[in-house]
Amino acid sequence: MAQNFLWCDRDQALLMPPSLRDWLGQDELAWCVLDVVAEMDLAAIYGGYRADGHGRAAFEPGMMVALLIYAYAVGERSSRAIERRCHVDVAFRVITANQVPDHATIARFRARHEPAIAGLFGQVLGVCARAGLVSLGVVALDSTKLAANASGMANRSYEQIAAELLAEAGAVDEAEDQQFGDARGDELPKEMADPASRRARLQEAKRQMEAEHQAAKDAHRERMQRRAELEVEQGRKIGGRKPKAPPEQIPSHVRVNITDPDSQSVKTQQGFIQGYSAQAAATSEQIIIAAEIIGNSVDYGLLEPLADAAVGELATAGISEQIDVVLADAGFWASEQIENLAARGMRPLVPPDGQNSKRSPGANRKGPRYDFMRRIIASDTGRALYSQRKHTIEPVFGQIKHNRRIAQFQRRGIQACRSEWRLIATTHNILKLWRANTTPAAA
């Protein structure tokens, strides 16, 4: 008797079923993404296209949004890799209805609709809330460090940038003298100009350093003016040390990255990297309710702004429930902000001391505010509440950075990285929604 195998004929007509809906099982992530996108208001994206239909036809914006969301959800963020998957991956072909946008189209769409894509975060949060996945009894805040799309070796001081600009200008003049002689060089064809030249990046980095230094000087001047006005009102001098004025010249230790000027050298457990600090707030179901970006690694002063961001996102999503308990680690300690949140009806739990009290800057913090928070966290109720932080927010970062292998931004610039971080958070929430609807209920 002949061996018995399933038939495998690659020349067979209709190798795939004729209906796209027969290509994937109904519990696949692609269908969840399409269902979520169908509920979105994409007017901000559709509004970017001509209403009269003139010009070359564009790919349907809803399809492009679904393609980006699905690609990020499965850890595919390179536009070239996404194009390749549209050729060979069945789920991608279902998402695109068997169309294949090229990588340039995908990259341009992502850049063109950057603010609108960032705004999808709130809409997905609303979908999760309607599915019963958002409870605000306990919310945890934290940050993680993501590498920028730039090398730390590209950091330059103000003096180095100025010197390189002068050296490059001299080299260009010398090369043009050898090439054109007495001619001006206007005879070069226009297409030989390089709009993304290294000189332009150096000039932009120099401009940014000058603007930031001037902003610091202006802020100090305004602060001293308010201090003087207050002394006049009170009729006495304000005690304590006067705020130190920034130096007249940009210090040599201040550096900027010429590839991504908004990124900074941020501290991680493995050392310093060139990158950003990605801030997030999550519920006990590990649904992200706020996602923001800053350019440094310090969490101090971000407790209230991040809580405000979460409140704003909840309002955008149509969620009227109020946040009850706010959990954060010692890096977020700011007594005034803690009191402000408490006055608004929230219960912030933030330890004044770090994990290693002997080495923590907060170890010597004394006063009624610090003692009160220590007593609250040491109580049975406070200890039980604060223990939820480590399995509320930290697994969220673990799922993003390790399970989905997202440890570096693809885009450059703080606004582009913010949009990308919010898209990453959006796909995280969609994955939670999908798993909640497909995981069998416990017996």
Give the pLDDT confidence of 154-205 residue by residue, as tens digits. 565 545 555 554 555 444 444 444 554 444 333 333 433 444 455 565 555 5
Q: Are residues 187 and 132 in the same domain?
A: no
* 193 and 292 housed in the same domain: no
Token reading at 328: 């954060």
Pairwise pLDDT comparison (222 vs 425), residue with the higher score: 425
pLDDT exceeds cutoff 70 at 3: no
232 pLDDT more than 80: no
Residue 11 within any structural domain of the chain: no
* pLDDT score recorded for residue 360: 46
For residue 136, what pLDDT band results from cuts at 50, 70 and 90? confident
Number of domains within the chain: 3
Question: Does some domain include residue 37?
Answer: yes
Provide φ and ψ at 277, rounded to 5°. Answer: -100, 120
- Residue where the block lists tokens 């610039």: 413
Nearest to 71 by CA among 329, 413, 420, 392: 420
- The answer to whether residues 366 and 395 belong to one domain is yes
pLDDT value at residue 71: 94
What mean pLDDT comes out for the span 333-338? 87
- One domain, residues 69 and 173: no
Whole-prediction pTM = 0.76
- For all residues of the chain together, what is the average pLDDT? 78
Of the three residues 58, 85, 112, the one that is the final residue of a domain is: 112
Average pLDDT over residues 124-147: 90
Give yes or no: residues 107 and 238 share one domain: no
Residue in 85, 86, 90, 80 with CA at minimum distance from that of residue 100? 86
Check whether residue 102 and residue 232 sit in a common domain: no
The Cα 254–Cα 213 span in angstroms is 10
Residue 2 lies in a domain: no
Examine residue 3 and state whether it is found in any structural domain, yes or no.
no
Task: Tell me, yes or no, whether 288 and 215 share the same domain.
Answer: no
Structure-token pair, residue 228: 């003087």
Same domain as 171, residue 137: no
Whether the predicted pLDDT of 46 surpasses 90: no
389: pLDDT strictly greater than 60? yes
Q: Which of 288, 304, 289, 374 is nearest to 337 (CA)?
A: 304
Asked whether the predicted pLDDT for residue 219 surpasses 80, the reply is no
277 and 315 inside one domain: yes
How many residues in total does the chain contain?
A: 443
Which pLDDT does position 272 carry in this prediction? 82
266's enclosing H/E stretch is strand 264-268
Residues 199 and 347 in one domain: no
Angle at 363 between CA 291 and CA 243, to 5 degrees: 70
User: Which residue do the tokens 């009269």 mark?
Assistant: 52
Q: Which amino acid is at 44?
A: A
Show which of 257, 275, 303 is a domain's final residue: 257
Q: Is the dihedral of CA 336, 308, 412, 211 positive or negative?
A: negative
Residue 1 in any domain: the answer is no
Note down the domain range covering 389: 120-150+260-438
Asked if residue 57 is part of any domain, the answer here is: yes
Instruction: Verify that 293 and 383 share a domain, yes or no.
Output: yes
The C-alpha atoms of residue 134 and residue 124 are separated, in whole angstroms, by 11
Tell me the one-letter amino acid at 402. Answer: H
Which is more confident, 245 or 158? 245
Question: Of 112, 136, 171, which closes a domain?
Answer: 112
d(CA 302, CA 284): 21
